[in-house]
Amino acid sequence: MAAVTELSFLLFALINYIHAQERIIIQKERSSYTFKLPENTNSCLISRSVGEEKLVLWNTSDLWSNSSSVPEDLKLRLVSSVKTSSYTILNLTHSDSGRYREECWTEGNVTHENNITITVCTTSTDGRYIGAIFGETVDLPCEGAADNLDVQWLKQDSRYETWSRVFGDKTTSVMDNVRERYQVVTDISDLRVSNVTATDVTEYRCLVMNQQQCVSSYTVKLRLRYEVIYHSVGETAVLPCTITDSTDEQPPRWSNQISRYLGQQKQTVPSVDQNYSLVFSSLMLNHSGWYDCKVSGRRQQYYLVVCPKFGPPAVELFSEGEEVTLRCRDWRKGWWHHWFIKSHRTEGRIFSLMSNQRMSRVSWYYDNGILVISNISVGDAGEYWCAVYDGVSQCLSIDRTVLMMQMFPYHLY
C-alpha cells in the first residue's frame, strides 16, 4: 500500500512539474494566439517581459475601461469571450514575441500560474519525416538557414506536447543531459542526433533568427524507421522492444502480418522474454515478415528476413577512390531483389541501401542486378547482401560480398 501511495505521489509531482514548465509557442506572422484562462476567478493578469522589464498588458477585471493598461495598438487586436474566459490576440506581429505570464486570483489567493514564450515568425513551414533506427546517427535539416543568421533548435516532448530548447545558438547546447549526443553542424545548421533513443523520436523545430527576430520556422519529425533483421533457417532470432519506459502503464504488445502461419508447429512459435523481446528459437522461412512492438502510442517495427542457409561470402578488394561493381547472381530466379549493407562502422547493423542516407554514391541497376559504388572510401567497407524474393515476399536465396580495403605490403629496398 505504501508503494502505491509513493507511486501516486511521484506521478502527481511529475504532472505538476510538466504543467509548471514554460510553454514555448511558435506562431506565424499575422496569425492569432488565444490565452485560455480558468473560469470562476475574480481576476487574471497578463504580463509580458521584455528583457528585464515586466510590462503589464491587461487585467481581465478592468479590460476595456479608459484607465485600462492595455496598449492601444494591442486593444484594437484583442478579442475576448466571456463564455470561455479566453482572450485572443489577432494579427500577430514580431513585436508580440516575448515571455508572457498568466496569474489568476480567487478570493485573494493565486489559483492559476502559467509561463508562455511566444515567438512570431515571418514564415512557418512543415518539413519532412526523417527516419532512423535506435543507435543510429541522423542529421535533421534546417531549411532556410544561412551563415549570417543564428539558429535555435527546439524539441517537443511527444507525451506532454511541451517544447524544450535543444540549442540556443549554433554552438551551445542548453540540454545538459544530451550535450554529447546533440550537435549543430555549423556550416549548414543541421541538428545531428547521435545514438538515437526512444526519447529522441519526436518533432523538432528550427528557428532561423536575424538578431532577435524570427525569420522562419521549419518543422522536422524524427520517426523510427523499420529495422531489417537477417537470419537463416534454424537460427535463433531476437527482436528487441526498446521503446518502453517507466511511465508506461501497460506492457508492450507484439503483432505481425503472418499470424496465420504461427501455431502450426509449437516449437517455432515466437515467445516474449522478460525484457519484452520477441524470441524465435528455430526460424522457418515462413517467419519472414513485419513485426511491430507497440506501447502507449509508440511503435517499433522490424522486417524479419529468413533465407535458406547461405554459404561463405565472396571477397572483393578495393582501393580508395575506385569504382566497385557488385552483382546479384540469382536475381533472375525471383520476382524481385533488394540490396542491404552490414557496415563495419555501424557495429554490424543492417541497412537498406535505398533508405541509408550515407550511401549517396551508390547506384542500383534493378534490371540487371548490379550495384555500383563510385569513389569508394574506407567507410564503405562491409558486407553487402542481395536478397532474392518470390511472389509472396519469401526469401529464395542471398548473395553476400565482403568489401575489404586493399592493403599494400611495404617493400624494403
Q: What is the pLDDT of residues 245-281, one digit of tens each?
A: 777 888 889 988 654 444 444 435 688 888 899 999 9
Who has greater pLDDT, 196 or 359? 196
Examine residue 410 and state whether it is found in any structural domain, yes or no: no
Residue 108 has pLDDT above 60, yes or no: yes
- In this prediction, residue 257 carries a pLDDT of 66
Examine residue 260 and state whether it is found in any structural domain, yes or no: yes
DSSP sequence for 122-149: EEEEEEEEEEE-TT--EEE--TT--TTS
252 and 341 inside one domain: no
268 and 289 inside one domain: yes
- In this prediction, residue 182 carries a pLDDT of 86
* Range ranked top by mean pLDDT from 24-33, 125-134, 171-180, 343-352: 24-33
User: Confidence band (pLDDT; 50, 70, 90) for 48?
Assistant: confident
Mean pLDDT of all residues in 138-146: 84
Per residue in 55-78, pLDDT (tens digit) is 777 777 766 666 666 777 888 888
Residue 42 has pLDDT above 80, yes or no: no
Structural domains in the chain (count): 4
Examine residue 411 and state whether it is found in any structural domain, yes or no: no
Mean pLDDT of all residues in 75-95: 84
Examine residue 412 and state whether it is found in any structural domain, yes or no: no
154 and 235 inside one domain: no
The answer to whether 48 touches 100, Cβ cutoff 8 Å, is yes
Chain center to CA of 65 = 49
- In this prediction, residue 291 carries a pLDDT of 92
- In this prediction, residue 63 carries a pLDDT of 64
- In this prediction, residue 211 carries a pLDDT of 82
Please say which residue of 196, 224, 252 terminates a domain: 224
231 and 212 inside one domain: no
324 and 349 inside one domain: yes
- How far apart are the C-alpha atoms of 195 and 346, rounded to whole Å? 11
Q: Which of 95-104, 164-173, 332-341, 393-402 has the lowest mean pLDDT?
A: 164-173
Q: Is 396 helix (H, G, I), strand (E, B) or coil?
A: strand
Bridge partners, 132 (sequence order) = 224
62 and 109 inside one domain: yes
**Torsion of the alpha carbons at 315, 321, 322 and 324, rounded to the nearest 10:** 60
244 and 342 inside one domain: no
Q: What is the average pLDDT value for the chain, to the nearest integer?
A: 78
Please say which residue of 243, 278, 307 terminates a domain: 307
Residue 326 has pLDDT above 60, yes or no: yes
Mean pLDDT of all residues in 397-401: 88
- In this prediction, residue 65 carries a pLDDT of 62
Examine residue 214 and state whether it is found in any structural domain, yes or no: yes
Who has greater pLDDT, 20 or 252? 252
Mean pLDDT of all residues in 350-358: 60
287 and 351 inside one domain: no
Could you list the residue range(s) of the whole structural domain that residue 203 is in?
122-224
- How far apart are the C-alpha atoms of 410 and 132, rounded to whole Å? 42
- In this prediction, residue 258 carries a pLDDT of 53
User: Confidence band (pLDDT; 50, 70, 90) for 15?
Assistant: very low
- In this prediction, residue 219 carries a pLDDT of 92
- In this prediction, residue 38 carries a pLDDT of 85
Residue 92 has pLDDT above 90, yes or no: yes
Here the CATH number for the domain that contains residue 155 is 2.60.40.10
243 and 215 inside one domain: no
The answer to whether 109 touches 118, Cβ cutoff 8 Å, is no
Q: pTM score > 0.85 for this model?
A: no
All three cell numbers of 281: 528459437
Per residue in 201-247, pLDDT (tens digit) is 889 999 998 888 899 999 999 988 888 888 889 989 899 998 887 77
Q: Residue type for 8, please?
A: S
- In this prediction, residue 91 carries a pLDDT of 94
193 and 299 inside one domain: no
Mean pLDDT of all residues in 351-365: 66
Examine residue 413 and state whether it is found in any structural domain, yes or no: no
- How far apart are the C-alpha atoms of 235 and 12, rounded to whole Å? 47
216 and 127 inside one domain: yes
Per residue in 158-189, pLDDT (tens digit) is 665 678 888 654 444 444 344 568 888 877 88
- In this prediction, residue 6 carries a pLDDT of 41
Examine residue 193 and state whether it is found in any structural domain, yes or no: yes
Q: Is 229 helix (H, G, I), strand (E, B) or coil?
A: strand
The answer to whether 31 touches 122, Cβ cutoff 8 Å, is no
Runs of H (alpha helix) within 266-382: none
274 and 351 inside one domain: no
Mean pLDDT of all residues in 72-86: 80
- Cβ atoms < 10 Å from Cβ of 154: 20
Examine residue 339 and state whether it is found in any structural domain, yes or no: yes
